[in-house]
């Protein structure tokens, strides 16, 4: 049985009242904000030394699923972050339902919605393992990188449901050298993010005063991270020149400008925080910058490379 849409097209009854493009964009934005938000609150947990505020998992303590007064403010902070995971899960579930019910969503958008939904329980399990191992720095690094992957997937979903680059002529096909330059820039972005987690794992903000460190020399790994950042800035500048010289569409040019701007701001924050012994406000701001870098770099690839 079918019904007629506003344009007169016959639609299966199951699509009657299905979410439209506006709803798709709304849930994609919500997914992006939720995943950035959980990264920032997780960073606050680590920076306040509250990583083991709830020392057990899945319970807060061996005898209780909820925080109690004996755990103090660190317990409240850690338990609060755990509760926010339910908000992220709710957003992921709503996104999955809306995308799968919408006629405006294509197969790729549906797969991305599934990835975002599956990513939440994966994060929960990985977060639980970090607690059970006393905040093992390698697991903490994986926890953050998985969140960055979910941020990238959210950007991809938003790009997809907005229909960017789907005009009659298709997306801009960059010349092969530009294509490889963009891909190399994206790859180095992830190297920089990974090295950033290594810096954190070797430094003082591991989440708890008794948490293990990764054993790397902080000065050495910080220098390696800084070198990768300089390489990334150089590659991004090259992309910016290339998109101007090859008459790229406005989206690609705008994404290249945004990425370079975010990188320069990140570099400045990173230098200042290193020179001032890592104050927690600057470290949290640097974490926000890492999220922004992931967003901008992913947007650059999606705006520049033919699907």
**Mean pLDDT score, 285-296:** 96
pLDDT value for 118:
96
Structure confidence by residue, pLDDT tens digits, 87-130? 999 999 999 999 999 888 889 999 999 999 999 999 999 999 99
pLDDT value for 9:
47
Segment of 80-84, 103-107, 164-168, 185-189 carrying the highest mean pLDDT: 185-189
**Mean pLDDT score, 130-134:** 90
pLDDT value for 66:
86
Tokens for 16, please give them. 């009657």
275 pLDDT exceeds 70?
Answer: yes
pLDDT value for 306:
57
pLDDT value for 70:
73
Alpha-carbon distance of 60 to 222, in angstroms, equals 34
Alpha-carbon distance of 270 to 278, in angstroms, equals 9
More confident residue, 168 or 267: 267
163 pLDDT exceeds 70?
Answer: yes
Alpha-carbon distance of 151 to 295, in angstroms, equals 7
pLDDT bucket at 299, cuts 50 / 70 / 90: very high
pLDDT value for 7:
44
pLDDT value for 236:
97
Alpha-carbon distance of 50 to 72, in angstroms, equals 10
Q: In angstroms, how far apart are the furthest CA atoms of the chain?
A: 69
Tokens for 212, please give them. 């293990």
Q: What is the pTM of this model?
A: 0.89
More confident residue, 289 or 59: 289
pLDDT bucket at 17, cuts 50 / 70 / 90: low
pLDDT value for 10:
52
**Mean pLDDT score, 249-268:** 93
pLDDT value for 202:
86
Alpha carbon distances (Å) from 291 to 51, 101, 151: 20, 29, 7
291 pLDDT exceeds 90?
Answer: yes
Structure confidence by residue, pLDDT tens digits, 208-257? 777 788 888 988 999 999 999 999 999 999 999 999 998 888 888 999 99
pLDDT value for 55:
87
Coil, strand, or helix at residue 296? Answer: helix
Sign of torsion over alpha carbons 298, 146, 307, 162: negative
């Amino acid at each position: 049985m079918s019904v007629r849409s506003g344009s007169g097209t016959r639609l299966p009854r199951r699509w009657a009242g299905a979410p439209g493009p506006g709803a798709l964009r709304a849930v994609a934005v919500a997914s992006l904000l939720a995943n950035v938000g959980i990264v920032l609150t997780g960073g606050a947990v680590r920076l306040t030394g509250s990583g083991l505020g709830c020392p057990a998992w899945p319970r807060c303590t061996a005898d209780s699923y909820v925080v109690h007064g004996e755990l103090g403010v660190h317990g409240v902070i850690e338990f609060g972050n755990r509760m926010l995971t339910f908000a992220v899960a709710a957003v992921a579930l709503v996104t999955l339902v809306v995308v799968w019910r919408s006629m405006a969503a294509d197969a790729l958008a549906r797969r991305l919605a599934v990835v975002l939904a599956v990513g939440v329980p994966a994060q929960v399990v990985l977060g639980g393992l970090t607690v059970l191992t006393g905040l093992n720095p390698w697991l903490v690094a994986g926890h953050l990188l998985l969140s960055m992957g979910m941020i990238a997937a959210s950007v991809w979903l938003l790009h997809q449901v907005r229909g960017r680059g789907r005009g009659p002529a298709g997306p801009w096909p960059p010349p092969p050298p530009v294509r490889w330059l963009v891909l190399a820039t994206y790859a180095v972005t992830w190297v920089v993010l990974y090295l950033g987690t290594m810096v954190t794992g070797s430094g003082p903000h591991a989440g708890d005063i008794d948490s293990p460190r990764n054993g790397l020399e902080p000065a050495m790994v910080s220098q390696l991270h800084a070198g990768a950042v300089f390489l990334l800035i150089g590659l991004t500048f090259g992309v910016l020149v290339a998109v101007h010289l090859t008459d790229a569409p406005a989206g690609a040019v705008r994404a290249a400008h945004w990425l370079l701007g975010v990188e320069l701001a990140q570099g400045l924050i990173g230098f200042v925080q290193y020179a001032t012994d890592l104050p927690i406000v600057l470290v949290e701001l640097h974490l926000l910058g890492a999220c922004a870098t992931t967003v901008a770099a992913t947007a650059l690839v999606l705006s520049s490379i033919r699907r």
